[in-house]
Amino acid sequence: MAKIAMDAVSIAAPAVPPALTCRDLSAAYGSRTVLDGISLDIHAGSWTAVVGPNGSGKSTLLRTLAGLREPRTGTISLQGRSLSAWPRRERARRLAWLAQSSSATDLTALEVVALGRFAHSGWLAHRQAVDDAAMHRAMVATGSLSWARRRLSTLSGGERQRVHLARVLAAEAPVLLLDEPTTHLDPPHQEEVALLLREQARAGVCVVSAIHDLSLALAADRLIVLGQHGVVGHGGVGDALSGDWLSAAFRTRVDIVDQRGVLLWRPALGARPRD
Amino acid sequence: MNALRPHAANVRGPSVARRSRLAIWLVCCLVVTLLLTCVSLIAGTSSVETSWSWLVSPDSQASVVLWEIRLPRTVGAWLAGALLGLSGAIAQGVFRNPLAEPYLLGTASGAALGVTISLIAADASFGGLEWIGKLGLTGAACVGACAAIALTITLARGVIETTSLLLAGIVVGFVLSAVMSLLLLAKPEIWRAVQIFMFGSTAFLSWSSTGLLATVLCICIVPALLLARGLDALTLGDDTAQSLGLSLPALRLSLLGLVSLGTATTVGQIGIVGFVGLVAPHLVRETLSVNHRQLLIGAALCGGALLQAADLLSRWVIRPSELPVGAVTACVGGTYLLFLLWRRSRWMR
């Protein structure tokens, strides 16, 4: 028995480093500090929602984690290696980022999604079958295949957002940083995006998304709750509810109700005075 | 996303309709260019009948006029227009601004100042400046354009901020123009020569300048087509382009290097010809839905045909005299932009 126990220990998978880590991260716009002393470990195979009031630094956190702005202090690691040490295209293969507002380019939806494969296919745009397959999967998943040949400038905001989401998914990166992926989407499509993110997480992807809609955010596996003065809490949704992190972050009472296993935010609609 | 399951479509390349539209467009452009070249050969200060007889039964005078003057002029005009169209399309992509044009880095004013200084130096009364005179007008224009670009990039502290680059380009343009005006005040007798340069002229194009323009066009178009995907990515915004794995400073510097090379060479050969670089990419975008690779090729072809047509008009309208080709492109290009503006305002209503 002792032998078996020894073997079990030795063949156990080594501790997997977090997909994304930051230590003592701070960011500022001029003299205004937006993020201060943030330390996070975000693991693969989970969907983490970043929530917080306007101006709490959700987008700044995602942009900094994506390497799009230099942190004032602190370090960021992607898959155990410093973010800045990754060669540019290698990094883009491992980390994909979705902007909060999507641009109305004159490119077709297909060309935009193909750009998601840039880190794989390079300057000559010589797409292989594997690139086509990834693009096809992403466009099917986001329901944007039917507009493949339409210019983005002729699509509605919601349709455009789904094309950009397809572009991010087409990269097939193990880490996805999505800034408001449900912007412009109607409620059924918001739900479908939430299911898609959950599906990605189940497939082993590390999904981090800033989400405005609290009910949607509560469908995530974990929450990073940002307040005006940094992180209020980081952990499972249960921890967030038991610790009442949301009320602390928004500085008002936030009521969450359990509707047959689905957590929903119940707005007070002015029935309650603010703290 | 079951409710949104795919329709029958694949993700391989552009649609057949789009590809054939592009092919038709390219063929039309080439046919127009060939026609313009033929017409340019028989259009000149001599009558059409004389030109025609030269073509049918060439003699020594005919061969000089047709093959040493008219042909290099029209081929050179096409090449210069192609370079301007290409540079304009790149500039509009880099600055993500449909009103960007090849001269916005201060090249035009720099080249004009270079020519002015060269003319003054050629006078030989200024000790120590004779070497500038030896550069020739073409060389001086090129050096002036390159110096203006270097000054613009230095003032903007690199190529990261496109707004700073635009502003620096405007400032450099104004300051260099002011310096040129001061020099012209001090030396008014060179005003006429500078004026010819500033209005643009294809009259001095020879086979050697045509060869130079062709070489630079080849040097510019190959890397431009390679970098076209970067221009596509830039349309999604700086952050998104960066997140795709692009190095924005390197990309912008390379693209602006191509714009500078193309513009400085063109200005050196034909002077300042406005609107071609601005209008050619618009003409392509208005008629085709294209990515940057196709836009760059289209803008080059279109720019070439435009300048060839403008050259023809400039020789034809008030023959035996000639209109400045820059004035013709300004009239035609300006009218076209006004038409676009009018159409857009109607569409917005």
Instruction: Report pLDDT for A11.
Output: 40
Taking only the tens place, the pLDDT of each residue in B141-165 is: 888 888 998 999 999 988 778 888 8
Q: What is the pLDDT of residue B348?
A: 64
Digit-by-digit pLDDT tens for chain A (275 residues) are 444 443 433 344 446 678 999 999 999 888 888 888 889 999 999 999 999 888 888 999 999 999 999 999 999 999 989 999 999 999 999 999 999 887 778 899 999 999 999 998 877 767 788 889 999 999 999 999 998 989 898 898 888 999 999 999 999 999 999 999 988 888 888 888 899 999 999 999 999 999 988 888 888 999 999 988 788 888 888 887 777 888 878 877 777 777 777 777 777 666 555 55
- Relative to beta strand A175-179, strand A95-98 is parallel
Residue A132 forms contact with B (CB below 8 Å) = yes
Question: What distance lies between CA B281 and its chain's CA centroid?
Answer: 11
Mutate to test the interface with B, among A62, A65, A106, A154 (most CBs of B within 10 A): A106
Per-residue pLDDT reduced to its tens digit, B284-324: 988 886 789 999 999 999 999 999 999 999 888 877 778 88
Q: In angstroms, rounded to a whole number, what is the distance separating the alpha carbons of residues A21 and A19?
A: 7
Among A residues 133-152, those touching chain B with beta carbons less than 8 Å apart: 135-136, 139-146, 148-149, 151
Alpha helices for chain B (secondary structure H)? 16-42, 48-56, 60-63, 71-94, 107-122, 130-134, 136-155, 162-186, 191-199, 207-226, 228-234, 238-243, 248-270, 276-287, 292-316, 325-348
Sheet holding A81-82, edge to edge: A32-42, A20-29, A73-78, A81-82
Which has the higher per-residue pLDDT, B348 or A31? A31
Whether B291 and A111 lie within 8 Å, measured CB to CB = yes
Q: What is the mean pLDDT of residues B11-22?
A: 71
pLDDT for residue B90 = 95
Query: Given a cut of 50, is residue B14 above it in pLDDT?
Result: yes
For residues B115 and B241, which has the higher predicted lDDT (pLDDT)? B241
Burial class (CB in 10 A: 0-12, 13-18, 19+), B339: exposed
Residue of A nearest to B10 (CA): A136
pLDDT attached to residue A106: 86
- The reply to whether B176 touches chain A by the CB within 8 Å rule is no
The SS3 assignment for A78 reads: strand
What three-state secondary structure class fits B349?
Answer: coil
- The pLDDT value given to residue A33: 84
pLDDT in tens, B36-95: 998 888 776 666 666 666 666 667 677 777 777 889 999 999 999 999 999 999 999 998
Q: d(Cα A240, Cα A246) in Å, to the nearest integer? A: 7
H helix intervals, A30-142: 58-65, 88-94, 109-115, 118-121, 129-142
Minimum Cα–Cα distance from B224: chain A residue = A123
For chains A and B, CB pairs below 8 A equal: 109
Q: Which are the contacts of B260, defined by CB distance < 8 A and separation ≥ 6? A: B105, B107, B145, B146, B149
Predicted local distance difference test score (pLDDT) of residue A158: 86
Q: Which residue in chain B has the smallest CA separation from A118?
A: B244
In eight-state DSSP terms, residue A208 is E
Per DSSP, the residues of B286-314 read HH----HHHHHHHHHHHHHHHHHHHHHHH
**B140 pLDDT more than 80:** yes
- pLDDT tens track for B189-245: 888 888 888 888 888 888 998 999 999 999 999 999 999 999 999 999 999 999 999
